[in-house]
Structure 1
Amino acid sequence: MDIHQIPSIKYFGRSDMKKKLTALFLAMLLSLVFAGMAQATYYHFEDYRPDDVKFNGETTYTWTFNLNFDNLMLWEIPAVPLVNSGDDWDSSLGKTGQMGANDILHRAYLTMKFCNTDNEKIDLKLDLTDTISWLLSQGGLHNQTITNLDSLPDEQNAPGTLNVFSYLEDDHLLNVTITNTSLTGDFTVDKMNLAGCYESDPTPVPEPGTVVLLGAGLAGMAVVLRRRAKAAADRT
């Protein structure tokens, strides 16, 4: 047989094998890094409660906001806003959906629209992100007559504080109960609205199990390549 017709046998030397393993390791490591750099998405949400609830001296009513199950109006935004005035958002530009259990709540605002028998209206807006003065504590509007809405105390002067956000942040659930036991005259809560901002799909962190599997896979591949290199060397 002509020596030029003898098939050549290629094998990996130690330096070649190290280069292959190093390149493979870097490629897999970079894939994990870039997977962990996935950009989070921020949403402004509105959870509307249009219930028209009439209160008299004996009425008690509870509104329940469950952000993981309610049909929220959602608008994608570039970042967490510094402030939120509670202005209406164009529903035609939004979409509907729910928060995920692992989504991070950054801001929350509660708006209540009151109306008395003379059709006088007032909006009470509470920023739940910080500890707030609770306007509706102790079962009423602090003995203020509903027929004179201008005499309602503002949130800075209302007694009592309550850190609502810590509970809402934990389980995305908020119950608001109004009990009228001290007001003179009837009034109606035309609507209640919980709004705010949350972060969807926070940056993932590779689990320890993923790193262990990566190391075990590379070690196993190194053994296989060494055996192949040794077998190729023996054949020559």
Structure 2
Amino acid sequence: MTRASLDKQPHEVASMFDDVADRYDLTNDVLSLGQARLWRREVAKAVDARPAQKILDLAAGTATSSLPFAQTGAYVVPCDFSLGMLQVGKRRHPWLPLTAGDATKLPFQDDTFDAVTISFGLRNVQATESALRELYRVTRPGGRVVICEFSQPTWAPFRTVYTEYLMRALPPVARAVSSNPEAYVYLAESIRAWPDQPALAALLQKAGWSKVAWRNLSGGIVALHRGVKQG
């Protein structure tokens, strides 16, 4: 079984996701107590994909997150660096143009996409700032970014309970439903070590994004960050 460490070596992270690919969507639904589907709906609303727009769904995994964009008539490119995840996605959604790619060296030309989005993937990239700059590079002027990522609950008593859940309850639950429960120990640790809402907003601004704002979901367990590439 493969488990990445918090230095997030790309080969370790990719291998870890290869191991969990088959049951990844099921495990997410169980561990999030069903909230994962709500979060995906909120991402789709924030991205606001339109017919014929080009959407990059980075860290798309099995491409479950890409389906709402495709359903609007937009042209969505699911991109991930885990070949195992992409293989499962291609089996389930053979009509989607699943693409292998590294978030810090995206295989797309400048100014390609009307919107770029990444859900629960930025946390697993070794160089966060490089990924944010790459997302900026491939977005057309006037285009937008939407990032959905675990964050810090805003109510202090709940934050304590939540941290205890991550470190104590999440691994046993993962053992019951996941093909690689050790991977979810890494995921719990990476959530705990991730920047809070204002810190991620500052990184977006540093990468060049304008009109940066965020909205908390589920009391701040998850935050939706948004920004625009000025023309």
Task: Answer whether TM exceeds 0.5 for this pair.
Answer: no
Q: Which has the larger radius of gyration?
A: 1
Greater length-normalized contact order (CA 8 Å, ≥ 6 residues apart): 1
Q: Which has more helix, going by share of residues?
A: 2
TM-score of the two chains, using structure 1 as the length reference? 0.22
